[in-house]
Amino acid sequence: MEIFLQLVFSGVALGMIYAVIAFGYQLTFATSGTLNFGQGESLMLGALVGLSLVGSIHGGPYMSYLLMIPIVIAFGALQGVFVEWIGVRPAIKIKSEFGWIMSTIALAIIFKNVAENIWGKDDLMFPSPLSAAPFQVFGANVQQMQVAVIIGALAIMLAVELFNRKSIYGKAVVATANDRDAAGLMGINTGMVITFSYALSSATAAFAGVLVAPLTLTGATMGASLGLKAFAVAIIGGLTSGVGAIVGGLILGIAETTTGYYISTGYKEVPGLLLLLLVLAIKPSGLFGKAAIKKV
């Protein structure tokens, strides 16, 4: 039972990282109907930039980690703006239905190559700001950083939701998500709202990068797998539901850790992908998503 609980705690921490990235997918899909398929590379760059900053900021591992976070979030936001300007806006302008897919994938490959040339191809260790000594919960060993990941992931998603509900700029995002044409007629600059949603999406992914980096190795290849799995989480939970992102992330994270231990690490990704196929076959809009009704 102790081992099972330990696997569950690890799966919850991993699942919350998936949920944050999936949450970013939802932000851009809601406002523009497009997705940034380089979302995993936003996480990767956030982790690597954070690693460089932690090494250059003095004040101990904990303080340097805290000071690094806002800089990484700002970097992620700028990267998201760049992706929207270069890869998405031209496709939307010419009403290309799939141009943004290839553009964001191409930019993801470019970001990966840039990272390899700057930080190298080898994986790097990210210093943990918290003690590596675990503490016990119902007999299971839990790392302090795992708890920090769960709290940090929930905090960033809650902050975005409060921003959207309480601020005038957030309400512009919500209005654009509900009906872009109507929002434009009401005087909302929907183009800027879409740019902002991409900035927010990449910023959350960059933040997820510095959350997960102390628990794993950091390198130019870390983003591809996490981004793809987070996309599966977004589909499982529903691209229109924040709760769906959290539930989908928890399902996939726990399924991976338990399958990897009880069956084989070679099969740890299979249950989540089987669930994805099942959801697509039975409820394509996702477990918590709403099916769009179009009048023809």
How confident is the model over 214-228, as pLDDT tens digits? 988 899 999 988 998
Instruction: Report the Cα 235 to chain-centroid distance in Å.
Output: 13
Backbone torsions φ then ψ of 253, nearest 5 degrees: -65, -45
Closest CA to 199 of 82, 277, 30: 82
Closest by CA to 174, choosing from 187, 186, 161, is 161
Residues 6+ apart with CB under 8 A from 243: 237, 288
pLDDT bucket at 108, cuts 50 / 70 / 90:
very high
What does each C-alpha distance from 232 to 86, 235, 245 come to in angstroms? 25, 5, 10
Q: Which of 16-20, 57-61, 113-117, 206-210 has the lowest mean pLDDT?
A: 57-61
CA–centroid distance for 105 within its chain: 16
What pTM was computed for the model? 0.91
Mean pLDDT of 56-81: 90
Quote the percentage of the chain above a pLDDT of 90: 49
Q: What is the mean pLDDT of residues 96-125?
A: 92
Contact 254, 12 (CB under 8 A): yes
Of the pLDDT bands very low, low, confident and very high (cuts 50, 70, 90), residue 2 is: confident
pLDDT value, residue 52: 93
Going by C-alpha positions, the residue among 117, 112, 124, 111 that lies closest to residue 79 is 111
User: Does residue 296 have a pLDDT over 50?
Assistant: no
| pLDDT tier at 292, thresholds 50, 70, 90 | low
Per-residue pLDDT reduced to its tens digit, 253-290: 999 999 988 888 888 888 878 888 888 898 888 888 77
CA distance 248 to 287: 8
Distance CA 175, CA 186 (A): 10
CA–CA separation, 27 and 29 (whole Å): 6
Arithmetic mean of pLDDT over the chain: 89
Per-residue model confidence as pLDDT tens digits over 36-55:
999 999 999 999 999 999 98
Give the pLDDT band (50/70/90) at residue 291.
low
